[in-house]
Amino acid sequence: MKQMRLISLTLLLFITVLPTVHGDLYWEDVMETKGMPKGLEALPEHIRDKAADQFKPRTDTVKNYLTAYASRTDTTDGTMIMNFDAMTIYHLNPGNKTYTKFDVMSQGEDGGMGQAFIQGMTKDVQISSTDETKEISGYKCKKYIMKLMGEESEYWLSKDVEGYDEFREMTEKMKKMFEKSPMLGQTNMVGIISKLDGFPIMIVMNMMGMKTVTTLKKVEKKSLSKDLFKVPEGYKLQK
């Protein structure tokens, strides 16, 4: 389930990358998760009870940091760093001080399983815009519907967020990066990015019986240290 949450956050990050032509950017989201994964009822009782403890309703703060060359997302499950110039993605596990590394330009080291997994996740994604609008967190938002793995999620996007013009510029940069990737270029990531037009103010995601609501709490421009986008000393690479 941590991997499913990471995939959700990755999708979220891919469509919320804003460049910082006029300064670095920091924003916070509140992520509320509830519900039980489908299929738990079929497990033996002692396993089911133990698993249920891991899926109690929870509210987390997601911290996002962005510069023109890199981004970072902090959650209770770990940290993801994306270096745009090096085309490299890191996932840090503070619990045991390990990290994994993914080279966007590589073919992958899993015999294509990673690409096949992402293709399976994204090939049947359907995204449609609606005429429904409402104000969320002080921003006028437009509703988009995403259908993924047989479930429907809501994306409430706004063009009123400061830096939206830069967002469009960075979106194009991200699309070109993925198109060049031997692994991600064969997936539908570029298509997903292209259809979601705006900064996500609220996302209501349904997946495998669980519901996650992510809402923008605040956004501000501030100077960010380069150390935020480096793997900390003492962390060991884990394949």
Unique residue bearing structure tokens 């990471």: 6
pLDDT tens sequence across 191-232: 566 677 888 899 998 877 788 999 999 888 888 999 999 999
- What are φ and ψ of residue 150, in 5° steps? 80, 5
Q: What is the pLDDT of residue 11?
A: 56
The band of 21, judged by pLDDT with boundaries at 50, 70 and 90, is very low
Instruction: List, in sequence order, every beta strand (DSSP E) within 36-87.
Output: 58-66, 70-75, 78-83
Q: What is the pLDDT of residue 18?
A: 40
Q: How far apart are CA 24 and CA 174, in angstroms?
A: 17
Residues 6+ apart with CB under 8 A from 38: 208, 209
For the chain, how long is the longest CA-to-CA vector?
56
pLDDT above 90 for 94: yes
What pTM was estimated for this model as a whole? 0.75
- Percent of the chain with pLDDT strictly greater than 70: 61
Q: How far apart are CA 119 and CA 116, in angstroms?
A: 5
Q: Please name each of the domains of the chain with its CATH number.
A: 2-237 (2.50.20.10)
pLDDT tens sequence across 129-159: 999 999 999 999 999 998 877 788 999 999 8
Q: How far apart are CA 53 and CA 31, in angstroms?
A: 18
